[in-house]
Amino acid sequence: MKLSIAKICLPCLLLLTLTTSAIAQNPSGREVTLIDDGWHFAFGHSHDTGKDFNHGTAYFSYLAKTGNGDGPAAAAFDDRAWRLLNLPHDWAVEQSFSEAGSFSHGFKTAGKGFPDKSIGWYRRKISIPETDLGRIISLKFDGVFRDSKVWFNGHYLGNEPSGYDGFEYDVSAYVNYGGENTIAVRVDASMEEGWFYEGAGIYRHVYVQKTNPLHVKTNGTYITTDIKNGYANIKAQVAIENWSNDNNGGDVEIVSTIVDPQGKEISTKQIILAPKPFNISLSDSEIRINTPLLWDIENPNLYRLITQIKKEGKIVDTYETTFGIRSIRFDPEEGFFLNGKHLKLKGTNNHQDHAGVGTALPDELQYFRIKKLKEMGSNAYRCSHHPPTPELLEACDRLGMLVIDETRLMGITDLHLGAVKRMIERDRNHPSVFCWSVGNEEWAIEGNIMGERITNTMQGYAKSIDPTRPVTVGISSGFRSGISSVVEVMGYNYLGNGDIDAHRNQFKQQPGMGTEEGSTFATRGIYVTDDAKHYQAAYDRKPRPSFYSIEEGWKFYATRPYLAGMFIWTGFDYRGEPTPYGWPSVTSYFGMMDVCGFPKDNVYYLKSWWGSEPVLHLLPHWNWQGMEGKEIDVWAYSNCDEVELFLNKKSLGKKMMEQYGHLEWKVAYQPGTLEAVGYKNGKRILTDIRKTTGKPEKIKLTSHRQTLDKANGVAVFNVEVTDKNGLHIPTATNEVTFSIKGGTIIGVGNGDPTSLENDKFIDAIALVNITGLQEQALTTVNLPQQLPSYPKNNWTEAFKDRDYKNLAPAYVYRGQFELASLSATNVVTFFYQKVGVDAVIFVNGKKVNSAKDDAQKYILSADMLKQGINTLNIIATPVHKVKDWDVINANPGVVQVITPADQWKRKLFSGYAQVIVQADGSGKDIVLSATAKDVKAATLTLSVK
Ligand code: GAL
């Protein structure tokens, strides 16, 4: 420390001491703690203030005076009756479906049009030790859908309109050091940002971060790699921030250590001048790595940069950045190159939701989904149409999947450019990210001069933050004007939208790729289109006159070297956009896989031409009872040279496979065995068989994992039924009921776009207010065991004009609560808030006793309750004011009614359902049991470590 002690004031000294001790406890200087668990949640209301806990109605509310968050934004608010949950959370997926719901959001009864399911309040307490005084304490939100406001101990921190951008608030000044602190978040999902399902709530992670005031700025590292012959130069720029009034200057030492995939380390050191107060300084370092292990699709080698900041020899911050060494290049003639090698982009577009859990995906599901795409032969992923959760990019980095990272809305103000900046600064060290997309199908501007201007600004701005990656925009019209005339890499959305070859002939210097192609419809396991049932046959046929099949699309892109590749619309089905239908279809039909990740047949077309393994896949299934003698379309997807088809051992002919094609036969149906045999170089190499099955006999459970991590492990179970020979029944629709020990089911699905079954089975919690509170003053302190009768005409409005200087010895209060319905399974609890010092409480004349765990919690038994209006009486001694301005609580509390959930269940659709299970932290093995009518039950045990 260069300051002379004489200049340090006493509080500063205290602060310095505490800072040092905090750092001593955390030698890295930085602590990042996930705070996903233990949030209290309740619905507010978008326009009925009473139902929004009277938030924002205080005389001096939170915009008038700092610290004045009111209603649930106040630290002292009583949220005991609220639901307790863990993040990530999507309240939309928990709701039922209705035709009145939004087409875009899959007809869920939440958000737009549902004011009582459009505002969600979240509250959580955190304790922060006294030793943290002097550190920068911040809350980090990875993404909240949407329009969130956050308070800390009643202090308003800010508003984040985006449902996709991460944000962070410094709360250091508001902390109750050495005590409890309250985070309150109000989420307003009444607007939609996209035209696809977006969920509702805090659906990504939340962290508390603690750092020294001198630290690496959030997303403050930028690593670029330059591959030379036999070595690579790694440049690391680090932004060091001084978030304090410390103006003492001095040197800051930055130690940069690169850890290679084998754990070998190599370090370098820079000395820079300490940044000025509330300023940043940049440190640039360069490290040479000999014979680097490159990041690519097959071997996604990852390196780590550990940045240590030292001041006066002490480590004040340690910051880790994962990166990869790789080069990318677009060539207008030859397409895309990764590490100098040509790579055709075999991509899919995807939104972020999954069956059962909506947008609140546990991290494991990101890996599950990316692995499924890789198994299909895909090597690229477009985040349509918004920045993803960080864990998706981590999964792509680790598994080897290229990513187009896309911002939500085109424009040139702080709103739009700020989002571009946040996306690029957060994501630019991910080796998977190879391209920034600054827009998609912006119909109002894409073909005109405005689009050209906006793109010029966004593109230039993006490149000012990251010059190493190109910029694209997905364009659906005007392939020759507007955005397309200036964008660096042309993003063609659909062959049907314009003449790609003509565009290319005019703009020969502009590389291009198909940012969207396909848009085909298929229902998994269904082979006859039936508009009445909203079924789309799963054969890859031209979907609409101006759209192309997957095969047509791929033939076009595969045979044009100047096109870098194509991104199919979409990899997975998603909620919303159930084109070509509407209600009661609730998910899209576009996916190569359904919302669970069960493959449709197109997956095998792509595997044949995108993958490297021999493939042979026959469709449809061979259960066509009642269709005997009628012609069935039989297709084979394969990359064999020839395929021969047999029905019950009789050859139906051998056919040559055309490159990027498929084979078709018309086969008169007879039950039995349909078999395809694939030949390569004249040799029989593969067979695929479809057998007519018997009736369902037994449930079969399998899991994508056999062992789970105790803390937050997730397993995806497949559920199916088999016949007496153990054959999977592709047409089964049995309803299967589930029970679990040692873990929690977090969602069920089956991939049926028309299923209106529950995605989740969770207890319903209703909060019932006490209304019409009246009082009578009592002349003696008598807290009776039986409710006395009080004069009928002496009731007056409670607490109105109370003279606190002349309080009565006791008061009796009377209020009502209405139980609209009441069943034997309801659990009803009165959460009392003190309206007096000592009190006795009666419900419908019967005295109630407080619960063991909480003196202010009263379980109301069924025998004292009735459907309709119930009467609450409280006899209590009054609370005296100490100061005139003391506010005395006049709210006696709230009645919570829990309706326990039904048992988890789901029907099979085309033979399959999915159950997603999470470990509950107990460390006990997970045992999932499944039962269904008329078939044998099944149980599967997973070990938890
Ligand atoms: C595209 C759009 C996608 C999706 C798709 C459906 O025009 O970019 O987000 O809506 O159409 O066909």
User: 607-651 pLDDT, tens per residue?
Assistant: 999 999 999 999 999 999 999 999 999 999 999 999 999 999 999
d(CA 28, CA 738): 46
- Say whether domain 328-610 belongs to CATH 3.40.50.10860: no
Give residue 891's identity as a one-letter amino acid code.
N
User: 105-148 pLDDT, tens per residue?
Assistant: 999 999 999 999 999 999 999 999 999 999 999 999 999 999 99
d(CA 331, CA 564): 8
Q: What is the mean pLDDT of residues 356-372?
A: 98
User: 419-438 pLDDT, tens per residue?
Assistant: 999 999 999 999 999 999 99
Where do the domains of the chain lie? 31-210, 214-324, 328-610, 624-691, 698-762+902-944, 765-899
d(CA 699, CA 729): 10
* CB of 476 shorter than 6 A to ligand 1: yes
d(CA 920, CA 710): 7
H or E element in which residue 506 lies = helix 500-506
Q: What is the pLDDT of residue 26?
A: 57
Q: What is the mean pLDDT of residues 881-891?
A: 91
- Sequence-distant (6+) residues with CB within 8 A of 408 are 162, 164, 193, 194, 385, 386, 387, 419
Pair of tokens at residue 742? 């040692």
Length of the chain: 945
**Residue 15 burial (CB < 10 Å; 0-12/13-18/19+)?**
middle
User: 24-69 pLDDT, tens per residue?
Assistant: 445 568 999 999 999 999 999 999 999 999 999 999 999 999 999 9
- Say whether domain 31-210 belongs to CATH 3.40.710.10: no
Q: What is the mean pLDDT of residues 17-27?
A: 43
Residue tagged active-site, from 241, 391, 441, 552: 441
Q: What is the β-pairing status of strands 214-227 and 167-170?
A: unpaired
* Letter string b/e over residues 914-944, b meaning 16 or more CB atoms within 10 A of that residue's CB: bbbbbbbeeeebbebbbbbeebeebebebeb
Determine which of 19-33, 462-476, 553-567 has the lowest per-residue pLDDT on average.
19-33
| Ligand 1 centroid, distance to 311 Cα (angstroms) | 52
pLDDT of residue 731 exceeding 60, the answer is yes
pLDDT of residue 746 exceeding 50, the answer is yes
pLDDT of residue 873 exceeding 90, the answer is yes
* CB of 440 shorter than 6 A to ligand 1: yes
Strands lying side by side in the sheet with 683-691? 650-656, 642-647, 673-680, 683-691
The protein residue whose alpha carbon is closest to atom 6 in ligand 1 is 519
* CB of 349 shorter than 6 A to ligand 1: no
**Is residue 18 very low, low, confident or very high in pLDDT (cuts 50, 70, 90)?**
very low
Choosing among 2.20.25.10, 3.40.50.10300, 1.10.150.120, 2.60.40.10, the CATH entry for 214-324 is 2.60.40.10
d(CA 86, CA 201): 12
- Say whether domain 765-899 belongs to CATH 2.60.120.260: yes
The protein residue whose alpha carbon is closest to atom 12 in ligand 1 is 519
Q: What is the mean pLDDT of residues 369-386?
A: 98
* CB of 516 shorter than 6 A to ligand 1: yes
User: 237-290 pLDDT, tens per residue?
Assistant: 999 999 999 999 899 999 999 999 999 999 999 999 999 999 999 999 999 999
Q: What is the pLDDT of residue 479?
A: 85
Specify the ligand 1 atom closest to the Cα of 569.
Answer: 5
- Pocket-testing residue among 196, 404, 519, ligand 1, by greatest number of atoms within 8 A of Cβ: 519
* CB of 148 shorter than 6 A to ligand 1: no
Q: What is the pLDDT of residue 88?
A: 98
- Sequence-distant (6+) residues with CB within 8 A of 683 are none
* CB of 452 shorter than 6 A to ligand 1: no
* CB of 569 shorter than 6 A to ligand 1: yes
Q: What is the pLDDT of residue 22?
A: 41
Phi first, then psi: what are they for 208, rounded to 5°?
-105, 130
pLDDT of residue 679 exceeding 80, the answer is yes
d(CA 365, CA 343): 27
- Say whether domain 698-762+902-944 belongs to CATH 2.60.40.10: yes
List the end-to-end C-alpha distance of the chain, in Å, as a whole number: 47
Q: Is 516 a catalytic site residue?
A: yes
| Ligand 1 centroid, distance to 359 Cα (angstroms) | 19
Closest CA to 566 of 574, 576, 558: 558
- Sequence-distant (6+) residues with CB within 8 A of 132 are 18, 22, 175, 177, 210
- Sequence-distant (6+) residues with CB within 8 A of 165 are 143, 387, 419, 422, 423
Q: How many CA atoms lie within 13 A of 276 on its CB side?
A: 1
Q: Is 441 a catalytic site residue?
A: yes
% of the chain exceeding 90 in pLDDT: 94
User: 295-321 pLDDT, tens per residue?
Assistant: 999 999 999 999 999 999 999 999 999
- Pocket-testing residue among 198, 569, 575, 579, ligand 1, by greatest number of atoms within 8 A of Cβ: 569
Contact in structure between 699 and 719 (CB atoms under 8 Å): yes
∠ CA 892-897-903, nearest 5°, is 160
The protein residue whose alpha carbon is closest to atom 4 in ligand 1 is 569
- Say whether domain 624-691 belongs to CATH 2.60.40.10: yes
Pair of tokens at residue 539? 């054969």
**Is residue 782 very low, low, confident or very high in pLDDT (cuts 50, 70, 90)?**
confident
Query: Helix crossing, 390-399 with 363-375: angle to 10°?
Result: 40
* CB of 750 shorter than 6 A to ligand 1: no
Q: pTM for the full model?
A: 0.95
Q: Where are the alpha helices (DSSP H) in 101-212?
A: none
Q: What is the pLDDT of residue 504?
A: 93
| Ligand 1 centroid, distance to 295 Cα (angstroms) | 31
Q: What is the mean pLDDT of residues 341-345?
A: 98
Fold agreement between 31-210 and 698-762+902-944: no
| Ligand 1 centroid, distance to 521 Cα (angstroms) | 13
Q: What is the pLDDT of residue 877?
A: 96
| Ligand 1 centroid, distance to 874 Cα (angstroms) | 59
User: 105-115 pLDDT, tens per residue?
Assistant: 999 999 999 99
Q: What is the pLDDT of residue 603?
A: 98
* CB of 441 shorter than 6 A to ligand 1: yes
